[in-house]
Every structure is written in structure tokens, then in C-alpha cells.
């Protein structure tokens, strides 16, 4: 079993548009991904896609070093390509090709591919196998792209938004497939806009912003941060948070994270819970849900980047 990093990026810089008046997409980024599942998160424009495409060998770095499975993805692409799987948002499929023939074609390029029929069945592609790619739904195209990325039994697979546009059933099936890949010794680099997906699947999470990795660790490590005691409740949007703050102890904080979703942090004890419920009663608020929870990955992300992930 591999113990050294599957991806090791040091001081990566990538610019677009030349040195004058251009844009620096990645600015001295460092990233180490160990065997297992690594989720890379970041707001749109943060540099995560450029970083992943550089690791895949599709972009040449302006400076810095990139090693994937110990190889340079540009100069040693011929040796690296058979060992990795890549899932692209664009699918990478000829628009007129049938779904099953494309998947079988990719499988034939590898020495020990997965069972194609079983993979088709698992990802719910059986009913559309003879349908041309351009006539598939967005979700079907997404599942086909995933199948093409993993059918060759790669050592490392890059998955770009693997559950985007999928219904809940297909999403769960994809999660199960990713877990099975890890159990079979396949490492996964995953980009996602779904925080619950990162928390469910990832052994390690790297948060990218402004072209750098600004935090990295397991979901548990990132969420620890002294905020295990967080009180959350849901109610009607637009409650007077300033009024709630006045009722709370001086060291407590309160915020409406998204419309109708509220967080109170500080020393969460029975007295604080009673204060919040009393304030709700005084203001005619019936909370739909109230709970004491740990800090979530979404909380960490927003605190670090100051932006919603879908930016």
C-alpha cells in the first residue's frame, strides 16, 4: 500500500494573460494529498480548478513543482496517464457516441478494467446505454463521465463535482462508489460545492482561496476550533439578531447564516439555551428546529473565506 503522498504541490504559480495586466490564478500554492480521499474546496475563482488541471497535466505551471504519484504530470505524462482517472465537467465524450460504446472503448484501453456491465448497472446507466451522448440528460452525462474516470482501475482519480445535477438516489450511489474506490486502495482528489459531501467522504480537506491553500486537515480537525458548542435554530427569515444579541451574555455571538437559519455561539449551557428560547417566546418566534451542534465545515469555510461556496 502506498504511504507517500499521491499529490505533492510546492509553491505553484499559474498566471493567465501574461505578466503585465494578467491574472494570477494560483499564487504560491502548497498542497500535499495523502492516500485516501482529499476534498479541495474553494469559492469560484479561488484557483482550485487551475490547481487540479495542473495536477492532471492539462496546464503547465509558470513556476513551482507538481508531482502526482511521484511523476511530473507534464514531462512524464506518458508514464502517468495510465495510472490516473480524470472526470471532467465537459465529459470528454464525442457527442454522437453511444454511452455504452464510449465506456467499453475506455475500458479496452486498460489492462484490468472494472466489469463494464456491473458499473453500468451500479450507476443507473442501463436504460441509456444505446443513447448518444448529446441526448443524455445532464445527470446521465455526469454519471457516464464518472464511470469513464474509474473503469480503468486507476491508482488515483480526479473527480470534478461528481454529484453535480444528480438526484438524491444517484448522489448516494456515487458516494458509495467513491467509498469502494478507497477501500480498494484507489486515492481520490475530489472537488465539490457540497459541504456535506466533503464531510461524508473526505479523509482530508484543503480549502483554497486567493490562489493559496489557507487551511488543510481532516473535517474533524478543521471543525474542532473551540466551537463544538454551537446552538442553531431555524425560524422565519429576518429576525432581529441585534435584539437577540442584547439578551445574550457578552461573550456570545449570533448571526443569520442563511435566510431563516440562525447560529448562536459562545459558552452553550442550559442558561444560554433558556435565554434563546425565552427570547423567541417574547418575540413570537416558534423555532422549527433547535439544536446544539459542533462547528460544521460550512461554518469553517465561511469564516475563512468570507464567502458562500457557490460565490
| DSSP assigned state of 10 | E
**Residue 228 and residue 245: Cα distance in Å, rounded?**
20
Q: What is residue 238's three-state secondary structure?
A: coil
pLDDT score, position 49? 92
Q: Rounded to an integer, what distance in angstroms lies between the CA atom of residue 86 and that of residue 53?
A: 10
Query: What pLDDT score was predicted for residue 217?
Result: 96
142 and 235 both lie in a single domain:
no
Q: Is residue 309 part of a domain?
A: no
Q: Report how far Cα 20 is from the mean position of its chain's Cα atoms.
A: 33
Q: Are residues 252 and 284 in the same domain?
A: yes
Q: What is the pLDDT of residue 306?
A: 83
Same domain, 242 and 158: no
- Domain identity same for 159 and 260: no
Q: Is residue 299 part of a domain?
A: no
Task: Name the stretches of the chain with pLDDT < 70.
Answer: 1, 18-21, 89-92, 225-229, 294, 307-311
Q: Which residues does 57 contact at the CB level (< 8 Å), separation at least 6? A: 68, 73, 74, 77, 80, 81
Handedness of CA 259, 261, 265, 271 (dihedral sign): positive
Domain range enclosing 248: 229-293
Bridge-based pairing state of the strands 7-16 and 23-33: antiparallel
pLDDT for the residue 310: 46
Instruction: Provide the pLDDT for residue 269.
Output: 86
All three cell numbers of 138, joined, read 445532464
CATH of the domain at 34: 3.40.50.300
What pLDDT does residue 233 have? 95
State the pLDDT at residue 92. Answer: 64
Which helix (H) or strand (E) segment holds residue 26: the answer is strand 23-33
Residues 128 and 267 in one domain: no
Helix (H, G, I), strand (E, B) or coil at 302: helix
Q: Are residues 102 and 200 in the same domain?
A: yes
Residue 307 within any structural domain of the chain: no
Q: Please give the C-alpha separations between residue 2 and each of 6, 80, 218, in angstroms, as whole numbers.
A: 8, 16, 19
Q: What angle do CA 282, 283, 289 make, to 5 degrees?
A: 100
d(CA 282, CA 280): 5
Number of structural domains the chain divides into: 2
Helices (H) and strands (E) in the chain, counts: 11, 13
Nearest-CA neighbor of 29 among 2, 56, 49, 44?
49
| Predicted structure pTM score | 0.78
Q: Are 194 and 187 in contact (CB under 8 A)?
A: no
Amino acid at each position: 500500500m502506498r504511504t507517500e503522498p499521491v499529490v505533492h504541490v510546492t509553491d505553484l504559480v499559474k498566471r493567465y494573460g501574461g505578466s503585465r495586466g494578467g491574472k494570477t490564478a494560483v499564487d504560491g500554492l502548497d498542497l500535499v494529498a495523502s492516500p485516501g480521499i482529499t476534498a479541495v474546496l474553494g469559492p469560484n475563482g479561488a484557483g482550485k480548478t487551475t490547481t487540479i488541471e495542473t495536477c492532471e497535466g492539462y496546464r503547465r505551471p509558470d513556476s513551482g513543482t507538481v508531482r502526482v504519484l511521484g511523476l511530473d504530470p507534464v514531462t512524464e505524462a506518458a508514464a502517468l496517464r495510465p495510472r490516473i482517472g480524470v472526470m471532467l465537467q465537459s465529459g470528454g465524450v464525442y457527442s454522437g457516441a453511444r454511452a455504452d460504446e464510449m465506456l467499453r472503448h475506455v475500458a479496452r484501453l486498460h489492462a484490468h478494467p472494472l466489469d463494464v456491465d456491473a458499473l453500468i448497472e451500479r450507476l443507473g446507466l442501463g436504460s441509456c446505454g444505446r443513447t448518444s451522448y448529446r441526448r443524455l440528460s445532464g445527470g446521465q452525462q455526469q454519471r457516464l463521465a464518472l464511470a469513464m474516470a474509474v473503469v480503468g482501475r486507476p491508482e488515483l482519480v480526479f473527480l470534478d463535482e461528481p454529484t453535480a445535477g444528480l438526484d438524491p438516489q444517484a448522489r448516494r450511489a456515487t458516494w458509495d462508489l467513491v467509498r469502494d474506490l478507497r477501500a480498494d486502495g484507489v486515492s481520490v482528489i475530489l472537488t465539490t460545492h457540497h459541504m456535506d459531501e466533503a464531510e461524508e467522504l473526505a479523509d482530508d480537506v484543503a480549502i483554497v482561496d486567493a490562489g493559496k491553500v489557507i487551511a488543510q486537515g481532516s473535517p474533524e480537525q478543521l471543525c474542532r476550533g473551540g466551537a463544538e458548542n454551537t446552538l442553531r435554530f431555524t425560524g422565519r427569515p429576518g429576525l432581529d439578531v441585534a435584539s437577540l444579541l442584547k439578551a445574550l451574555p457578552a461573550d456570545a455571538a449570533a448571526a443569520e447564516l442563511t435566510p431563516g437559519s440562525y447560529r448562536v455561539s459562545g459558552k452553550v449551557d442550559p442558561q444560554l439555551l433558556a435565554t434563546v428560547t425565552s427570547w423567541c417566546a417574547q418575540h413570537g418566534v416558534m423555532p422549527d428546529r433547535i439544536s446544539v451542534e459542533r462547528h460544521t465545515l460550512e461554518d469553517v469555510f465561511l469564516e475563512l473565506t468570507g464567502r458562500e461556496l457557490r460565490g
